[in-house]
Amino acid sequence: MRKRSKKFILYLGAIALVFGAGIWGIWRYSQSRTSRATPTANSPTENRSNSSPAPSDRVVSTPSANASPSTLGDEAGVATVSFGLAATLTGATWTVNDLAITPDGRRVFASDYASIRSWQLGANCFENRSCTATEQFEIPALWIYSLAMHPNGELLASGTWKEIKLWNLVSGDLLGSIPAHLDAVTTLAISPDGRMLISGSNDATLEVRNLQELTEAIAIDRDTSPLQTVEAHSEGINALAIAADGRTLVSGSSDGTLKVWDFNAYAASPLRLRHTLAGHENDVRSVAIAPDGERLASGSLDKTIGIWNLKTGRLLSTDDPDLGTVLAVAISPDGELLVSGGGDRRIKIWDLKSGKLLQTLTGHSGSVKYLIFSEDSQLLLSGSEDKTIRVWRRQG
Q: What is the pLDDT of residue 281?
A: 93
pLDDT digits (tens, 9 = 90+) for 319-351: 666 889 999 999 999 999 999 999 999 999 999
Predicted pLDDT of residue 161 = 93
Distance, CA of 294 to CA of 291 (rounded, Å): 8
CB within 8 Å of 2: residues ≥ 6 apart: none
CB-count exposure of residue 194 (10 Å: 0-12, 13-18, 19+): middle
Q: How would you classify the pairing of strands 155-168 and 174-190?
A: antiparallel
Q: Which residues on adjacent β-strands are paired with residue 159?
A: 146, 164
- Residues written for the chain: 396
* pLDDT computed for residue 51 by the predictor: 36
Q: Which of 392, 361, 365 is nearest to 379 (CA)?
A: 392
Specify whether the CB–CB gap between 302 and 280 falls below 8 A: yes
Helix H, strand E, coil C: the string for the chain is CHHHHHHHHHHHHHHHHHHHHHHHHHHHHHHHHHHHHCCECCECCCCCCCCCCCHHHCCECCCCCCCCCEECCCCCCCCCCCEEEEEEEECCCCCCCEEEECCCCCEEEEECECCEEEEECCHHHHHHCEEECCEEECCCCCCECEEEECCCCCEEEEEEEEEEEEEECCCCCEEEEEEEEEEEEEEEEECCCCCEEEEEECCCEEEEEEHHHHHHHHHCCCCCCCCEEEECCCCCEEEEEECCCCCEEEEEECCCEEEEEEECCCCCCCEEEEEEEECCCCCEEEEEECCCCCEEEEEECCCCEEEEECCCCCEEEECCCCCCCEEEEEECCCCCEEEEEECCCCEEEEECCCCCEEEEECCCCCCEEEEEECCCCCEEEEEECCCCEEEEEECC
C-alpha span between 336 and 334 (Å, rounded): 6
| Under-50 pLDDT residues of the chain | 1-68, 73-77
Contact 208, 262 (CB under 8 A): no
| Among the listed residues 323, 300, 298, the one whose alpha carbon sits nearest the alpha carbon of residue 313 | 298
Angle at 13 between CA 11 and CA 19, to 5 degrees: 105
State residue 154's pLDDT score.
95
* Predicted local distance difference test score (pLDDT) of residue 35: 32
As a CATH number, domain 57-394 is: 2.130.10.10
How high is the pLDDT of residue 143? 84
Provide the pLDDT for residue 38: 32
Q: Domain segments of the chain: what residues?
A: 1-33, 57-394
10 Å CB burial of residue 240 (0-12, 13-18, 19+) is: buried
Rounded Cα distance between 4 and 9, Å, is 9
Residues 6 or more apart whose Cβ sits within 8 Å of residue 86 = 126, 129, 379, 391, 392, 393
pLDDT in tens, 96-114: 989 999 999 999 999 987 7
Rounded to whole angstroms, how far apart are CA atoms 340 and 319? 11
Through-space distance between the first and last CA atoms of the chain, rounded to whole angstroms: 85
CB count, 10 Å around CB of 268? 7
